[in-house]
């Protein structure tokens, strides 16, 4: 468990470091893809700024957590495998990043489709976001990358069910004609 604790501290540091950058290019890219996909699905979405849209008279701003980059950066120390080459680790992280980016676009769009059809924001967005973070957490902890160094093999139970928490707000939402 010592290796997991050290990697946990590195994960926290990676998230804090990630949050020091605004990730504007990634937020703009996410916004652009959401606008294109929403228009393709015939949702009434209007791009208001480089990182915000209007949907059902609601302004939605894409913030850092909307990109899942903070979760990805936090996962790096937990996914890094010391028993394989740096190149293999980087290749694997690149694949995970692309997969996570696609998953993120899908989860955002699914939430916007639901919200556009009258599902309350807390269900359309927050619940979907929580499930996405939980899925990522399960993925990370089933990899046991830290176990090969500290124990020579996989850990049978890295977490108890009570240790798993997945809550995070992804976007700031306010009515475009009424303030917050």
pLDDT of residue 150: 43
pLDDT digits (tens, 9 = 90+) for 134-144: 999 899 888 77
Q: Is residue 180 assigned to a domain?
A: no
**pLDDT in the model for residue 147:** 62
State the pLDDT at residue 101: 97
Please give the full DSSP string across the chain, using - where no structure is assigned.
-HHHHHHHHHHHHHHHHHTTS--HHHHHHHHHHHHHHHHHTT--EEEEETTEEEETTEEEEE-GGGGTHHHHHHHHHHH--TTS-HHHHHHHHHHHHHHHHHHHHHHHHHHHHHHHTT--HIIIIIIHHHHHHHHHHHHHHHH-TTHHHHTSS--S-SS-GGG-------EEEEETTTB-
Domain count, the chain: 1
* Ranges of residues in the chain whose predicted pLDDT is under 50: 149-180
Distance CA 68, CA 104 (A): 7
Question: How far apart, in Å, do the first and last CA atoms of the chain sit?
Answer: 44
For residue 11, being part of any structural domain is answered with yes
The pLDDT > 90 percentage for the chain reads: 69
pLDDT tens-digit map of 60-88: 999 999 999 999 999 999 999 999 999 99
Asked, for residue 106, whether it belongs to a domain, the answer is yes
The pLDDT value recorded for residue 166 is: 37
What pLDDT shows up at residue 142?
A: 87
- Residue 150 sits in which domain range? 2-175
| Distances from the Cα of 169 to the Cα of 84, 111, 133, 155, angstroms | 35, 13, 11, 31
Phi, psi of 171 (to 5 degrees): -130, 155
From the number of C-beta atoms within 10 Å of its C-beta (0-12, 13-18, 19+), residue 67 rates as buried
* Pick from 131, 76, 74: nearest CA to 104: 131
Residue 25 pLDDT: 97
What is the structure's pLDDT at 141? 85
Q: What is the pLDDT of residue 90?
A: 96
What's the whole-model pTM score?
Answer: 0.77
Spatial separation of the C-alpha atoms in residues 93 and 149, rounded to whole Å: 19
């Amino acid at each position: 468990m010592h290796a997991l604790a050290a990697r946990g501290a590195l994960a926290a540091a990676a998230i804090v470091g990630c949050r020091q950058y605004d990730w504007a290019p990634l937020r703009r890219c996410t916004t652009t893809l959401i606008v294109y996909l929403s228009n393709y699905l015939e949702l009434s979405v209007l791009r208001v700024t480089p990182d915000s849209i209007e949907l059902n008279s609601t302004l939605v701003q894409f913030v850092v957590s909307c990109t899942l980059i903070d979760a990805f950066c936090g996962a790096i120390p937990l996914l890094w495998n010391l028993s394989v080459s740096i190149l293999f680790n980087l290749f694997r992280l690149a694949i995970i990043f692309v997969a996570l980016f696609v998953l993120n676009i899908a989860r955002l769009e699914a939430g916007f489709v639901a919200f556009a059809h009258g599902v309350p924001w807390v269900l359309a967005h927050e619940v979907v976001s929580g499930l996405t973070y939980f899925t990522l957490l399960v993925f990370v902890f089933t990899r046991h990358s830290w176990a090969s160094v500290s124990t020579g093999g996989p850990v049978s139970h890295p977490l108890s069910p009570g240790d798993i928490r997945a809550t995070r707000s992804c976007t700031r939402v306010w009515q475009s004609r009424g303030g917050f």
